[in-house]
């Protein structure tokens, strides 16, 4: 459970409150916000601060500008989107810590909202440079972290700044940690984890942790081929991380010891290329032809997984079952997303692509909770402390 002080624990009225948010949203070609989920997720915190007449300064990163100004990822589209969502004008400045920004802050009236420029234009951000953190801190009286998606990063605006300002959690950070914590607090059984996505290395620590708390792990996506290879199967040209085979074998052994079902697909959809016009066929998993890649779970696997999911009481899902961006390889992900949406279980989803898959099939309102942080949710679930949350004041 979230054990840090939140904005409920401090008087914010009339104060300058700097809120680190994660507005790292996808943009359209015309540079408008393509999906405002992450912006809407922070509205409870912003509205609370507006109602209590704070002076609100928002800061976020967007994209990967790598310490340099990049016009393609300025925050202006976000400011426009947020203005619409709040129904009030959000001011935007083109810098983060200059005199121009200080002047804009000093002009703020209570209840005003100011959005600063992309924090990653500054090389000090990712280096967690103390001088940059100090400059940011000078803008405000109180610091709030509501950027769950960036809480696993040790950056100036997530960690360094807490050395210079009293630091509190926002409502999104609190909710994310509380929702994900429920998976460890007597979850209703059977507890089934569905893990896919491309890299096993991203997920192996979560698998290790889950082997102590779940009844079944259903695997798919690219990551299952490292397990299959480790077991001696011929995986053809499927994606595989050879340096993780040993680790994977250990997980299979631990699963057996713990009586947890660590299920691998029994059939897969294979093709020569990952392309819209690729020809495909379905083969048993022990029989992948040499030049073909496994790109989705097959129908037999889908039926088995659907059956297990229909009996689950708690489900966690991270990672698509196949290359769902391409029609021929999307059936597994679609079927599993649908089974999760139809389930009566508590259903928790993490991961940007899993979230995108749910939205693609219009199922995003039919799960209990979708985390706004892919990397951050996995780190949290594997038991790695999130520096952005750790750095806040204790309750
Ligand atoms: P999430 O963002 O939900 O955590 P990941 O980023 O780990 O998920 O993985 C998503 C990506 O994995 C998708 O782009 C998808 O195309 C890819 N993927 C899924 N299955 C395969 C596969 N069999 N081979 C190659 N890539 C795959
Ligand atoms: Mg992803």
Mean pLDDT of the chain: 97
Which residues, in sequence order, are CB contacts of 78 under 8 Å at separation 6+? 23, 25, 33, 39, 60, 62, 115
Structure tokens at 157: 């605006």
Can you tell me the distance from the alpha carbon of 33 to that of 55, in angstroms, rounded to the nearest whole number?
Answer: 25
pLDDT at 218: 98
Is 87 among the residues known to form the active site?
no
Closest Cα partner for 338 from 326, 191, 324? 324
Instruction: Evaluate if residue 153 carries a pLDDT over 90.
Output: yes
Residue with CA closest to ligand 1 atom 16: 323
CATH for 182-381 (3.40.50.1260, 1.10.357.10, 3.30.1300.10, 3.40.630.30) = 3.40.50.1260
Tell me if residue 38 is catalytic: yes
Ligand 1 pocket, residue 351 CB under 6 Å = yes
User: Is the CB of residue 371 below 6 angstroms from any atom belonging to ligand 1?
Assistant: no
DSSP string, 102-148: HHHHHTPPTT-EEE---GGGSHHHHTT-HHHHHHHHTT-SEEEE--G
Which single residue is written with the structure tokens 């960036």? 150
Q: Where are the domains of the chain?
A: 7-175, 182-381
**Stretch 123-138: mean pLDDT, rounded?**
98
Tell which one of 221, 278, 376 to mutate to probe ligand 1, the residue whose CB is within 8 A of the most ligand atoms.
221
The ligand whose atoms approach the alpha carbon of 319 most closely is: 1
Residue 370 Cβ contacting ligand 1 at under 6 Å: no
Distances (CA, A) of 186 to 2, 181, 241, 382: 17, 10, 34, 17
If you compute the radius of gyration of the chain from its CA atoms, what whole number of angstroms results?
23
Report CA(357)–ligand 2 centroid distance (Å): 11
- What does DSSP assign to residue 77? H
Ligand 1 pocket, residue 160 CB under 6 Å:
no
CATH of domain 7-175: 3.40.50.1260
7-175 and 182-381 share one fold: yes
Answer for the pair 372, 22: CB distance below 8 angstroms, yes or no: yes
In order, the DSSP letters of 192-226 are EEEE-SS-HHHHHHHHHHHTTT-SEEEE-TTTHHH
The answer to whether the CB of 376 falls within 8 A of the CB of 148 is yes
CA angle 214, 219, 224 (to 5 degrees): 135
CA–centroid distance, residue 101 to ligand 2 (Å):
34
- The pLDDT score that the predictor gives to residue 287 is 85
Minimum-distance ligand 1 atom for the alpha carbon of 318: 3
Cis ω for the linkage preceding 190 (within 30 of 0): yes
Which ligand 1 atom lies nearest to the CA of residue 355?
3
Ligand nearest to the CA of 318: 1
Q: How far is CA 44 from CA 18, 39, 40, 278, 334, in A?
A: 15, 10, 8, 45, 31
- What's the CA-to-centroid distance between 372 and ligand 2, angstroms? 12
Q: Is 199 marked active-site?
A: yes
Q: For residue 77, what are the contacts with CB-CB under 8 A and spacing of at least 6?
A: 27, 31, 32, 33
The owner of tokens 């994606």 is 239
Q: Is 319 in the pocket of ligand 1 (CB under 6 A)?
A: yes
Q: Find the ligand nearest to 202 CA.
A: 1
Mean pLDDT, rounded, for 142-158: 98
Question: Which residue out of 63, 237, 261, 352 is catalytically annotated?
Answer: 352
Which-ligand-closest: CA of 373?
1
Sheet strands side by side (includes 267-271):
280-284, 267-271, 293-297
Q: Give the active site residue among 102, 134, 182, 199.
A: 199
pLDDT above 90 coverage of the chain, percent: 98
> How far apart are the CA of 156 and the centre of ligand 1, in A?
30
237 catalytically annotated: no
Cα 321 to averaged position of ligand 1 atoms, centre (Å): 7
Specify the ligand 1 atom closest to the Cα of 224: 23
* Average pLDDT of the residues in 88-101: 97
The per-residue pLDDT for 395 is 95
272-278 long-range Cβ contacts below 8 angstroms, 24+ apart: 274/323, 274/326, 274/329, 275/326, 276/326, 276/327, 278/326, 278/328
User: Does the pLDDT at position 55 exceed 90?
Assistant: yes
CA distance linking residue 1 with residue 162, whole number of Å: 21
Catalytic pick among 4, 20, 38, 334:
38
Q: Inter-axis angle of helices 374-382 and 352-360, to 10 degrees?
A: 120
Tens-place pLDDT, residues 311-361: 999 999 999 999 999 999 999 999 999 999 999 999 999 999 999 999 999
The answer to whether residues 90 and 79 touch, using CB atoms and an 8 Å cutoff, is yes
Q: Is the CB of 295 under 6 A from ligand 1?
A: yes
Q: Is the pLDDT of residue 172 over 90?
A: yes
Closest alpha carbon to 328 in 282, 284, 264:
282
Taking the CA of residue 268 as reference, the ligand 1 atom at the shortest distance is 23
**DSSP3 helix / strand / coil % (the chain, rounded to 5):** 40, 15, 40
């Amino acid at each position: 459970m979230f054990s840090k002080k939140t904005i409920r624990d401090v008087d914010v009225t009339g104060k300058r409150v700097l809120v680190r948010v994660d507005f790292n949203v996808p943009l359209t070609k015309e540079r408008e916000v393509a999906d405002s989920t992450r912006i809407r997720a922070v509205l409870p915190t912003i509205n609370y601060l507006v109602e209590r007449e704070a002076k609100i300064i928002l800061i976020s990163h967007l994209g990967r500008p790598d310490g340099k100004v990049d016009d393609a990822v300025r925050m202006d589209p976000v400011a426009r989107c947020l203005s619409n969502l709040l129904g009030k004008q959000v001011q935007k400045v083109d810098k983060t810590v200059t005199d121009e920004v200080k002047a804009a802050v000093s002009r703020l009236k209570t209840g005003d909202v100011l959005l600063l420029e992309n924090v990653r234009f500054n090389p000090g951000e990712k280096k967690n440079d103390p001088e940059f953190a100090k400059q940011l801190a000078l803008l405000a009286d109180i610091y709030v972290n509501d950027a769950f998606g960036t809480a696993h990063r040790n950056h100036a605006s997530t960690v360094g700044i807490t050395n210079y300002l009293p630091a509190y959690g926002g409502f999104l950070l609190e909710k994310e940690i509380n929702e994900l914590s429920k998976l460890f607090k007597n979850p209703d059984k059977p507890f089934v984890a569905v893990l896919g996505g491309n890299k096993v290395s991203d997920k192996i620590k979560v698998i290790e942790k889950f082997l102590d708390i779940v009844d079944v792990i259903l695997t798919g996506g690219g990551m299952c081929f490292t397990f299959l290879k480790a077991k001696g199967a011929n995986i053809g040209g499927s994606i595989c991380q050879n340096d993780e085979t040993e680790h994977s074998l250990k997980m299979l052994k631990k699963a057996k010891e713990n009586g947890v079902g660590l299920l691998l697909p029994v059939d897969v959809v294979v093709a020569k290329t990952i392309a819209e016009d690729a020809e495909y066929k379905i083969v048993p998993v022990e029989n992948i032809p040499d030049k073909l890649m496994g790109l989705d779970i097959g129908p037999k696997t889908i039926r088995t997984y659907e059956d297990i999911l229909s009996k689950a009481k708690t489900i966690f899902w991270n990672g698509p079952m196949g290359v769902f961006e391409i029609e021929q390889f999307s059936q597994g992900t679609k079927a599993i997303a649908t089974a999760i949406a139809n389930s009566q279980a508590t259903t928790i989803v993490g991961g940007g692509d899993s979230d995108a898959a749910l939205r693609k099939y219009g199922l995003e309102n039919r799960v209990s909770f979708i985390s706004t942080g892919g990397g951050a949710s996995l780190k949290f679930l594997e038991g790695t402390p999130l520096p952005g949350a750790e750095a806040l004041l204790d309750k």
